[in-house]
Amino acid sequence: MLDGVRILAWGARSAVKLSATLFERSGAEVHVTDAAHIGDFGYDAIVVSSDVGTAAQRGVIAELKAAGEHVICDITATGAQGSRAGVRWSDAEIQAMTGLMDTTGFASGQPVRIGVPFTEMSAAMYACAGVASAIRVARLRGIRQNIDVTLFGCAASALTTFLPAAFTQGTAGRVGNRHPACAPWNAYRTLDGWILICTSTEEQWRKIRSVAGVPQLDDGRFATLADRVRHVDELDRLIEAWTTTLTTEACTRLCERIGVAAGPIVGVADLSREANFRLRHAFAAKQIEAHGIGRDTYRDVSVFRTQPLTADAAGALPAVSSNVERDDDAGPLAGVKVVEIGQYTTAPLVGKHLAALGAQVVKIEPPDGEIARAWVPGQGGTSYFFALNNTDKQTLSLDLRHERDRAYLRTLLASADVLVENLRPGAVAKLGFDRAALAAINPKLIYCSISGFGTESAYPGRPAFDTVIQAMGGLMDLTRSEGEPVKLGASGADILGGQAALFAIVASLVEASREAGSFIEISMQDVAAWCALFATGNPEPQGVAVACADGHVWLECDSHHAPESLKAHAMEAKCSALTRQRAVASLRAAGVRAVAVARVNELVEDGDFLADVLSVARDANGAFWPVLKVPYRLSRTPARVRAVPGAPECVCAPAVVTPQ
Q: Residue 397 to residues 359, 400, 420: CA-CA distances in angstroms?
A: 20, 9, 16
**355 and 594 Cβ atoms separated by less than 8 Å:** no
Pairwise CA distance, residues 655 & 292, whole Å: 59
C-alpha to C-alpha distances, 541 to 47, 172, 532, 650, nearest whole angstrom:
23, 27, 15, 52
Question: Contact 75/88 with Cβ under 8 angstroms?
Answer: no
d(CA 337, CA 475): 35
Number of Cβ within a 10 Å radius of residue 524: 32
**Dihedral pair phi/psi, residue 55, rounded to 5°:** -60, -40
β-pair partners for 262: 197
Residue 61 to residue 53: CA distance in whole angstroms: 10
Give the integer Cα–Cα distance in Å for 418 and 287: 36
Give the C-alpha separation, 251 to 240, whole Å.
Answer: 11
What's phi and psi for 412, nearest 5 deg?
-65, -45
Q: How many CB atoms lie within 10 A of CB 607?
A: 10
DSSP state string for 582-612: HHHHHHHHTT-EEEEE--GGGGGG-HHHHHH
Angle between helices 202-212 and 248-258 (to 10 degrees): 130
Count of beta carbons in the 10 Å neighbourhood of residue 35: 8
Give me the catalytic one of 417, 477, 494, 619. Answer: 494
Cis peptide before 541 (omega within 30 of 0): no
Which residues share a beta bridge with 633? 148
- Is 494 a known active-site residue? yes
DSSP state of 412: H
List residues with catalytic annotation.
494
